[in-house]
């Protein structure tokens, strides 16, 4: 290794001045009471590798902090009561209209309090960014195999954070008690009622009465500003501790191995960059909030179970659930011989979504079982080098995207002048068949890319320089890679499918067969990395 | 562990081999293929220096840029406070809200971005630029600590008799499981002591209740309902309710439409539920409860804006598209002596989304 953990001391050594003396005194004061130097010693020079895709998790973390700050500001002014009052604020179109105190106070935050609208918009934009960043971060972890041992727990915690983000977003969206948020709750109420046996009761207890009742907003408020944030903060804490224990993954590059971490130390470079990046994320959110309106609740009016609201959309991250509801064919209610109603039209999408989410949460354990791989992995794989996993991911994305598009089926139909029926049927097809197509194509593309890598590793790349041979023939000169460039293309593992082996009693169990079958499915098509001998023989 | 690392990088196993795990519980070993002639890790490439490392002038310049950014940040924050004062919200002029929002936002943005971009630039351009290397160690605890952990549990078990005193242990487990039960019971009073199912099966509609306009509450005469028109309807008296107005409305909202009698395909059993081509249907979608409020006069289809369920008014509001579970329930209507439309009774089936006890 060419570098060491201690860089040469900077030449500009300063004699301890007054400031230094104070810092020394203060550090000593604190350390004698907390042993803080131990933590600084352990963490102060921890190494963080650099790659743009590693910033996604940071964006999520920073936008969460922005959410906490802006949300706390909002709590000082927001009143979640559902008591009915007449609007008396300055927004003329709503004056005299009966509404809940919650809606009134959200309007007041927007119209009577300087900076209130800005904070509402900061909060909402940050929430959208937060969920988006978590989602992309999950995709990064998935496609680079960074969920593999020893990081499976952190995958599950990250998944829970994603669920928390959606729950926080939905409860927050409901708080202003405007027409849209009330409609959202109405849909939740309808879904809960479909739950076999206890649905009507769960809805009744949740709403404290028949829908809508006067309890739901205060209850969601407690969830939104206390319970769910507390759980989220706890999960983020565990996520960070595990990150420190497991250390960061890194992409394969010259000098980087499964046994080291290469990058910048926390103090000073990483801390400055990450701290600065927090301010940038915060700044960009405020910038967006200063110019772009989000959730103009004053346009929607207070909640009322009767008026229309065509073409309205939930926040983007709820879209896939809404879309799932839309894709179901009509008349699926089934009354069993005892007279109880099975609302399959709602239950099928509900169960489908739960299965999808469970599959996401448990994928690392599935892959570990199928591959039989029990080693620690610290090198982030290039997606092409794990074709089946990448293809599974693409299938999952396609499924999610089809559901998500379905949530805008009406807008797609009106915008492109299609019939709503046509759009729904196409999306039904995309939801069911699309994932298979995506799987197939992605796997082929990955294998093709791997072949191309092999090709380049063996024959070099086209230099763009064309020369004329003595015989008059023109060829393009291929330039060989140097060792460092080649390493990126050849440093990956090749796997063989598991073999079926009898167990101690000499039997081959069904689960063994399934496992071997899946393992074959995972690894039967594979491309081996170029070896030295191959390159040697190629040259002659 | 040694094999594990070997098989990933820099292993010295001769020939083509299959790296195996020493793991007796696993039914089959991990199988990463290891070849002896694979490329070794070439080590770190020669370092590339930054312009700020090479040129002291550039370094000075970067320093100046960074402090300029921090200075800009201070200006932004001060500007934000100034904007707070200089752009107050004038209740009579809605555009002041926009200005307040914008200028305050610009100030805060500058304050934040100045710090952020400055710090990142400092880190990238001036701070020690070499990459450092830290060794990784297997995540599992050392053999020593694992042995000690096992021993601690053994000692704790011996001292407490946790496995030996099985009666004590089992009753403890039972007791701990039972303690949360009161907490569950405590939540019963989240809702009043009524049967929600009974509530779901009744609405405000009753014999002789007049159909009134939503939201004004003025009753509707049959003669006012021209062919092709549609009314959003609530029961008379709903608008004046002091208590439970929205809850009642969420069940009782109705759509009233008049179709040419010959286009209306009526169920003989329900032939007298309409009046002169005027029909009333629940407005609460049988999917998950949104208001089905888009009426297409030519096709006499009703469309639910939430998930695009479509109902055919001419044909008992049966579902012709979308996820809805059932036709919209029909409200039997007639006219009273003064010519106002009235309900003959409540709905004869529960309105809105399906629930378990719905059909009973
Ligand atoms: C990841 C966490 C969170 C997410 C995704 C989130 C999301 C949301 C959303 C989408 C709204 C609707 C805003 C609107 O357009 O009016 C909202 C409202 C609100 N949130 Fe949050 N929130 C989160 C955490 C918090 C926290 C921690 C607090 C308090 C400390 C908070 C306090 C509030 C308040 C008071 C409102 C209602 C104010 C209003 O609507 O004007 N939120 N939240
Ligand atoms: S609520 Fe009407 S279609 Fe879903």
Please report the DSSP string for B203-261 in residue order. -S--TTPBEEETTT--B-BGGG--TT-EEEEEETTSTT-SSSHHHHHHHH-EEEEE--G
The pLDDT assigned to A3 comes to: 43
pLDDT in tens, A248-292: 999 999 999 999 999 999 999 999 999 999 999 999 999 999 999
Q: Is the CB of B283 under 6 A from ligand 2?
A: no
Token pair, residue B72, equals 């800009």
User: Could you say which residues from 113 to 142 on chain B have a Cβ atom under 8 Å away from some Cβ of chain A?
Assistant: 113, 115-124, 127-128, 130-136, 138-139
Cβ neighbours of residue A500 closer than 8 Å, sequence gap 6 or more: A508, A512, A513, A516, B28
What ipTM was estimated for this complex?
A: 0.91
Q: Does A369 touch chain B (CB under 8 A)?
A: no
Read off the pLDDT band of B4 (50, 70, 90): very low
The pLDDT assigned to A540 comes to: 60
Interface test with B, best of A52, A82, A112, A114 (most B CBs within 10 A): A114
The pLDDT assigned to B78 comes to: 98
Q: Is the CB of B104 under 6 A from ligand 2?
A: no
The terminus-to-terminus CA distance of chain B in angstroms comes to 64
- Test B38 with A531 for CB contact under 8 angstroms: yes
Minimum mean pLDDT range among A324-333, A348-357, B90-99, B175-184? B90-99
Kindly identify which residue of chain B lies nearest to residue A9, measuring between CA atoms: B128
Name the closest-CA residue to atom 19, ligand 1. A172
Mean pLDDT (whole number) for B80-97: 92
Indicate if B216 and B330 belong to the same structural domain.
yes
Angstrom distance (rounded) from CA B95 to CA B109: 21
Nearest CA to A295 out of A178, A405, A404, A135 is that of: A178
Residue A15 has pLDDT above 70, yes or no: no
Token pair, residue A157, equals 């915690």
Indicate if B233 and B298 belong to the same structural domain.
yes
Nearest CA to B101 out of A64, A287, A478 is that of: A287
Angstrom distance (rounded) from CA B178 to CA A40: 45
Which residues of chain A neighbour B17 with C-beta distances below 8 Å?
Answer: none
This prediction's pTM = 0.92
Taking only Cα atoms into account, the Rg of chain A, rounded to an integer number of angstroms, comes to 29
Q: How far from B288 is each of B191, B305, B310, B353, CA to CA, in Å?
A: 21, 12, 14, 5
Q: How far from A230 is each of A79, A164, A318, CA to CA, in Å?
A: 20, 10, 22
The pLDDT assigned to A20 comes to: 84
pLDDT in tens, B235-294: 999 999 989 999 999 999 999 999 999 999 988 899 899 999 999 999 999 999 999 989
Domain of residue B228, residue span? 204-343
User: Measured from the CA of A77, which atom of ligand 1 is nearest?
Assistant: 35
Read off the pLDDT band of B61 (50, 70, 90): very high
pLDDT in tens, B337-352: 999 999 999 999 999 9
How many domains does chain B contain in total? 4
Q: Domain A52-314 adopts which CATH fold?
A: Cytochrome Bc1 Complex; Chain C (1.20.810)
Read off the pLDDT band of A307 (50, 70, 90): confident
Nearest CA to B328 out of B280, B274, B262, B263 is that of: B280
Token pair, residue A454, equals 């092999």
Minimum mean pLDDT range among A50-59, A400-409, A467-476, B307-316? A467-476
Indicate if B183 and B209 belong to the same structural domain.
no
The pLDDT assigned to A536 comes to: 87
CA of A49 to the centre of ligand 2 (A): 49
Mean pLDDT, rounded, of chain A: 92
Kindly identify which residue of chain B lies nearest to residue A489, measuring between CA atoms: B39
Minimum mean pLDDT range among A233-237, A424-428, B10-14, B247-251? B10-14
Q: Does B162 touch chain A (CB under 8 A)?
A: no
**Residue B92 buriedness (CB in 10 A; 0-12 / 13-18 / 19+):** exposed
Interface test with B, best of A290, A373, A423, A515 (most B CBs within 10 A): A290
In the DSSP assignment, the letter for residue B348 is: S
Read off the pLDDT band of A14 (50, 70, 90): low
Q: Which of A112, A276, A516 sits opposite B118 (nearest CB)?
A: A276
Q: Does B357 touch chain A (CB under 8 A)?
A: yes
Indicate if B305 and B336 belong to the same structural domain.
yes
Mean pLDDT (whole number) for A160-164: 98
Omega of the bond leading into A268 within 30 degrees of 0 (cis) = yes
Q: Does A374 touch chain B (CB under 8 A)?
A: yes
* Helix locations, A292-376, DSSP H: 297-300, 319-326, 344-371
Token pair, residue A293, equals 């309106």
In a domain, B193, yes or no: no
Indicate if B223 and B291 belong to the same structural domain.
yes
Angstrom distance (rounded) from CA B205 to CA B282: 11
Q: Sign of the C-alpha dihedral, residues A125, A127, A132, A133?
A: positive
State the nearest Cα–Cα gap between B220 and chain A, in angstroms.
18
Is the distance from CB of A344 to CB of A325 less than 8 angstroms?
A: no
User: Could you say which residues from 383 to 422 on chain A have a Cβ atom under 8 Å away from some Cβ of chain B?
Assistant: 409-410, 420-421
The pLDDT assigned to B14 comes to: 34
Kindly identify which residue of chain A lies nearest to residue B358, measuring between CA atoms: A341
Minimum mean pLDDT range among A445-449, A461-465, B230-234? A461-465
Torsion-angle region of B10 (φ positive above 0: left; ψ -120 to 50: alpha; else: beta)? left
Indicate if B246 and B115 belong to the same structural domain.
no
Which residues of chain B neighbour A512 with C-beta distances below 8 Å?
Answer: 27-28
Mean pLDDT (whole number) for B59-78: 97
The pLDDT assigned to B92 comes to: 80
Q: Does A289 touch chain B (CB under 8 A)?
A: yes
Q: Which of B89, B119, B234 sits opposite A276 (nearest CB)?
A: B119
Which residues of chain B neighbour A4 with C-beta distances below 8 Å?
Answer: 132-133
pLDDT in tens, B193-210: 999 999 999 999 999 999
Indicate if B208 and B311 belong to the same structural domain.
yes
The pLDDT assigned to A464 comes to: 77
The pLDDT assigned to B258 comes to: 95
The pLDDT assigned to B356 comes to: 96
Domain spans of chain A, in order of start: 3-34, 52-314, 457-539
Residue B7 has pLDDT above 60, yes or no: no
The pLDDT assigned to B21 comes to: 42
Among all ligands shown, which has an atom nearest to the Cα of B290? 2
Angstrom distance (rounded) from CA A136 to CA A57: 8
Angstrom distance (rounded) from CA A184 to CA A167: 13
The pLDDT assigned to B16 comes to: 38
In degrees, to the nearest 5, what angle opens at C-alpha B234 toward C-alphas B230 and B235? 130
**φ, ψ (nearest 5 deg) of residue B58:** -65, -35
Instruction: Work out the percent of chain B whose per-residue pLDDT is above 70.
Output: 91
Torsion-angle region of A341 (φ positive above 0: left; ψ -120 to 50: alpha; else: beta)? beta
The pLDDT assigned to B235 comes to: 97
Indicate if B180 and B114 belong to the same structural domain.
no
Angstrom distance (rounded) from CA B288 to CA B284: 8
Kindly identify which residue of chain B lies nearest to residue A424, measuring between CA atoms: B322
Torsion-angle region of A135 (φ positive above 0: left; ψ -120 to 50: alpha; else: beta)? alpha
Q: Does B173 touch chain A (CB under 8 A)?
A: no
The pLDDT assigned to B48 comes to: 85
Cβ neighbours of residue B353 closer than 8 Å, sequence gap 6 or more: A189, A190, A193, A194, A343, A346, B284, B285, B286, B287, B288, B289, B325
Please report the DSSP string for A199-254 in residue order. HHHHHHHHHTSSSSTTTHHHHHHHIIIIIHHHHHHHHHHHHHHHHHHH---EE--T
Among all ligands shown, which has an atom nearest to the Cα of A64? 1
User: Measured from the CA of A186, which atom of ligand 2 is nearest?
Assistant: 1
Beta A250-251 vs A379-380: how paired, if at all?
parallel
Among all ligands shown, which has an atom nearest to the Cα of A129? 1
Interface test with A, best of B2, B17, B108 (most A CBs within 10 A): B108
In a domain, B137, yes or no: no
User: Measured from the CA of B322, which atom of ligand 2 is nearest?
Assistant: 3
Read off the pLDDT band of A338 (50, 70, 90): very high
* pLDDT, greater one: A479 or B232: B232
pLDDT in tens, A169-193: 999 999 999 999 999 999 999 999 9
State the nearest Cα–Cα gap between B179 and chain A, in angstroms.
21
Is the distance from CB of A242 to CB of A153 less than 8 angstroms?
A: yes
Furthest-apart CA atoms within chain A: distance in Å: 94
Read off the pLDDT band of B128 (50, 70, 90): confident
In a domain, B131, yes or no: no
Q: Is the CB of A170 under 6 A from ligand 1?
A: no
Reported as half-sphere exposure (CB side, CA atoms, 13 A), residue B47 has a value of 13
pLDDT in tens, A60-99: 999 999 999 999 999 999 999 999 999 999 999 999 999 9
Dihedral of the alpha carbons of A283, A249, A270, A483, in degrees to the nearest 10: -110
pLDDT in tens, A107-139: 999 999 999 999 999 999 999 999 999 999 999
Indicate if B66 and B161 belong to the same structural domain.
no
Q: Which of B44, B92, B324 sits opposite A2 (nearest CB)?
A: B44
Angstrom distance (rounded) from CA A128 to CA A47: 31
Q: Which of B84, B124, B250 sits opposite A211 (nearest CB)?
A: B250
pLDDT in tens, A191-217: 999 999 999 999 999 999 999 999 999
Among all ligands shown, which has an atom nearest to the Cα of A217? 1
The pLDDT assigned to A44 comes to: 93
In a domain, B325, yes or no: yes
Torsion-angle region of B147 (φ positive above 0: left; ψ -120 to 50: alpha; else: beta)? alpha
Read off the pLDDT band of B120 (50, 70, 90): very high
Kindly identify which residue of chain B lies nearest to residue A377, measuring between CA atoms: B8
Cβ neighbours of residue A64 closer than 8 Å, sequence gap 6 or more: A126, A130, A232, A236
Mean pLDDT, rounded, of chain B: 89
Mean pLDDT (whole number) for A384-411: 96
Q: How far from B164 is each of A393, B155, B168, CA to CA, in Å?
A: 49, 13, 9
Nearest CA to A256 out of B48, B13, B20, B10 is that of: B10
In a domain, B274, yes or no: yes
Token pair, residue B37, equals 């002639």
Q: Is the CB of A61 under 6 A from ligand 1?
A: no
């Amino acid at each position: 290794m060419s570098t060491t953990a201690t860089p040469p001391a900077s030449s500009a050594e300063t004699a301890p001045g007054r400031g230094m003396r104070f810092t020394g005194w203060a550090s000593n004061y604190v350390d004698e009471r907390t042993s803080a130097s131990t933590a600084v010693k352990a963490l102060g020079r921890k190494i963080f590798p650099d790659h743009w895709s590693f910033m996604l998790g940071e964006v999520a973390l920073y936008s969460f902090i922005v959410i906490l700050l802006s949300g706390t500001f909002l709590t000082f002014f927001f009143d979640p009561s559902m008591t009915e009052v007449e609007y008396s604020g300055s927004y003329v179109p709503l004056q005299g209209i009966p509404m809940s105190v919650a809606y009134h106070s959200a309007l007041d935050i927007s119209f009577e309090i300087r900076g209130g609208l800005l904070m509402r918009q900061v909060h909402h934009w940050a929430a959208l960014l937060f969920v988006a960043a978590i989602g992309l971060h999950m995709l990064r972890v998935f496609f680079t195999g960074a969920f593999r041992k020893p990081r499976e727990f952190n995958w599950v915690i990250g998944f829970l954070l994603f669920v928390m983000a959606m729950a926080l977003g939905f409860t927050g969206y409901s708080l202003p008690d405007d027409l849209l948020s009330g409609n959202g709750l109405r849909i939740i109420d309808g879904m809960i009622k479909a739950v076999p046996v206890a649905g009507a009761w769960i809805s009744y207890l949740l709403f404290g009465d028949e829908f809508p009742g006067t309890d739901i907003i205060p209850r969601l408020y407690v969830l939104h500003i206390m319970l769910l944030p507390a759980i989220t903060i706890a999960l983020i804490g565990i996520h960070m501790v595990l990150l420190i224990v497991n250390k960061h993954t890194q992409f394969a590059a010259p000098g980087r191995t499964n046994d080291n971490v290469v990058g910048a130390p926390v103090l000073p470079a990483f801390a400055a960059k990450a701290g600065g990046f927090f301010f940038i994320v915060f700044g960009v959110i405020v910038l967006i909030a200063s110019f772009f309106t989000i959730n103009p609740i004053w346009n929607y009016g207070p909640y009322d179970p009767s008026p229309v609201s065509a073409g309205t959309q939930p926040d983007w991250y709820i879209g896939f659930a809404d879309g799932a509801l839309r894709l179901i064919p009509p008349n699926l209610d089934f009354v069993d011989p005892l007279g109880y109603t099975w609302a399959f039209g709602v239950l099928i999408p509900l169960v489908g979504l739960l299965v999808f989410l469970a599959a996401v949460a448990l994928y690392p354990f599935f892959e570990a079982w199928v591959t039989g791989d029990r080693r620690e992995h610290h090198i982030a794989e290039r997606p092409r080098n794990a074709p089946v996993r990448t293809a599974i991911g693409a299938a999952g994305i396609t499924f999610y995207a089809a559901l998500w598009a379905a949530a805008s089926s009406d807008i797609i139909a009106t915008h492109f002048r299609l019939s709503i029926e046509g759009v729904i049927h196409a999306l039904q097809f995309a939801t069911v068949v699309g994932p298979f197509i995506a799987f197939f194509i992605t796997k082929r593309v990955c294998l093709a890319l791997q072949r191309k890598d092999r090709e380049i590793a063996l024959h070099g790349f086209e230099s763009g320089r064309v020369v004329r041979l003595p015989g008059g023939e023109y060829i393009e000169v291929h330039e060989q890679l140097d060792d460092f460039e080649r390493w990126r293309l050849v440093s990956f593992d090749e796997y063989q499918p598991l073999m079926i082996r009898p167990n101690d009693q000499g039997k081959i169990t069904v689960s063994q067969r399934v496992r071997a079958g899946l393992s074959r499915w995972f690894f039967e098509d594979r491309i081996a990395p170029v070896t030295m001998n191959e390159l040697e023989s190629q040259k002659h | 562990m040694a094999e594990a690392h070997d098989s990933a990088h820099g292993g010295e196993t001769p020939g083509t081999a299959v790296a195996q795990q020493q793991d007796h519980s696993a039914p089959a070993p991990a199988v990463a293929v290891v070849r002896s002639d694979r490329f070794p890790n070439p080590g770190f490439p020669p370092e590339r220096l930054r312009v700020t490392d090479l040129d002291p002038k550039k370094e000075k310049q970067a320093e100046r840029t960074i402090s300029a950014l921090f200075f800009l940040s201070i200006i932004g924050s001060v500007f934000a406070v100034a904007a707070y004062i200089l752009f107050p919200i004038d209740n009579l002029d809605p555009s002041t809200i926009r200005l307040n929002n914008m200028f305050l936002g610009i100030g805060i943005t500058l304050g934040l971005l100045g710090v952020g971009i400055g710090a990142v630039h400092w880190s990238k351009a001036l701070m020690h630029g070499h990459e450092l290397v830290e060794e990784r160690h297997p995540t599992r605890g050392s053999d020593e600590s694992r042995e000690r952990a096992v021993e601690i549990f053994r000692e704790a078990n011996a001292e407490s008799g946790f496995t030996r005193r099985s009666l004590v242990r089992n009753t403890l487990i039972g007791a701990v499981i039972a303690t949360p039960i009161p907490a569950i019971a405590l939540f019963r009073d989240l809702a009043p002591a009524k049967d929600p199912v009974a509530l779901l099966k009744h609405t405000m509609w009753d014999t002789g209740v007049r159909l009134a306009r939503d939201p004004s509450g003025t009753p509707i005469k049959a003669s006012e309902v021209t062919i092709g028109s549609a009314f959003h309807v609530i029961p008379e008296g709903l608008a004046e309710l002091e208590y439970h107005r929205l809850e009642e409305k969420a069940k009782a909202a109705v759509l009233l439409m008049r179709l040419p009698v010959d286009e209306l395909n009526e169920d003989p059993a329900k032939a007298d539920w309409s009046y002169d081509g005027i029909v009333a249907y629940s407005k609460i979608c049988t999917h998950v409860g949104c208001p089905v409020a888009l009426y297409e006069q030519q096709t006499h289809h009703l469309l639910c804006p939430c998930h695009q369920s479509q109902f055919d008014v001419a044909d008992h509001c049966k579902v012709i598209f979308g996820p809805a579970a059932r036709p919209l329930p029909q409200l039997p209507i007639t006219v009273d002596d003064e010519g106002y439309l009235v309900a003959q009774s409540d709905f004869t089936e529960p309105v809105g989304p399906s629930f378990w006890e719905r059909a009973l």
